[in-house]
Structure 1
């Protein structure tokens, strides 16, 4: 799928100091791409909807609860372990400059592939958008209705500065962060110990 397949390709300016949210591992693993406090998987994996070969791509949501649904309480999730949650943190970043993104939100109903698991098509679209100079893509969440998600490419990631990070399980007490507790309740995904 290419940008030329779309009837129109509107832009969206993510203005500074817009805040974005992400659930990520609390500790880096082998091969992790580190950009400040942002921890990303290796750019060779191509596991994400808008991954571009050889380019780090960071996935974010417009709200903390959307980040929880996107990362952990997904529709296909049948159970979530406390150990998995304990190894994750909620990261808030703020844009330090305006980023021009390809806006795919209005295409979600006519192009259901944009929310499907047929990733080769959306990855091809992302590679085309990156090649044409977009800093990333804004798209509809497949996990939470009427919410936006963001895929930010390569060098544009350095424009996202960490504002704060919070563990999803409080060390010492084992208390769940309110964001993950609400996502588990809303998704009815059982917590296992």
Structure 2
């Protein structure tokens, strides 16, 4: 899928100080790609909807709840693993400069592939958007109706500053972040060890 397949290419500008959220590993691993406060899997795995072969891609949500659904309570997930949750945090970041994204939201009704698991099409579209100078994409969440998500490509990721990073499970008390309770209830998922 290419930009030329879309009826039109609408730009969307995220302003300076725009807030975004993501759930990520609290600690780096040997394969982690760290860009500022953002921790990413190795570049080139092509396991995400808009991943690029040679450029890091970071995924964010407009709201913390959307980040929880996108990362933990996906449609294909059956349970929430406490071991996995203990190694993750909710990251709240803000942009230090404005960025221009390709807006895919108007295309969602006519291109359901934009929210599907057929990633080859959407990865090709992301590559074309990067070639045309977009800093990333804005698109509808496939996990939470009527909510937005963002991807930032390579250099745009370094324009983020950390506002806050909160563990999903309190190490001292074992208490769960409220997002986990809400996501588990909304997705009807159980917690497992």
**1:7 Cα offset (Å):** 0.4
Which residue does 1:34 correspond to in 2? 34
Gaps of at least 5 residues in structure 2 are none
TM-score by length of 1: 0.98
Which residue does 2:106 correspond to in 1? 106
Please give the residue correspondences for 1:16-35 in structure 2 after superposition, counting only pairs within 5 Å.
16-35=16-35
Which residue does 2:52 correspond to in 1? 52
Which residue does 1:97 correspond to in 2? 97
State yes or no: 1:190 paired with 2:193.
no
State how many pairs are aligned.
193
What's the C-alpha RMSD, in Å, of the aligned pairs?
A: 0.7
Which residue does 1:125 correspond to in 2? 125
Which residue does 1:178 correspond to in 2? 178
Tell me the distance in 1 between the aligned counterparts of 2:78 and 2:152: 29
Which residue does 1:150 correspond to in 2? 150
**1:175 Cα offset (Å):** 0.3
Which residue does 1:136 correspond to in 2? 136
Gaps of at least 5 residues in structure 1 are none
**1:81 Cα offset (Å):** 1.2
Q: Which runs of 4+ in 1 moved over 4 A?
A: none
Secondary structure in structure 1 of the residue aligned to 2:172: coil
Which residue does 2:63 correspond to in 1? 63
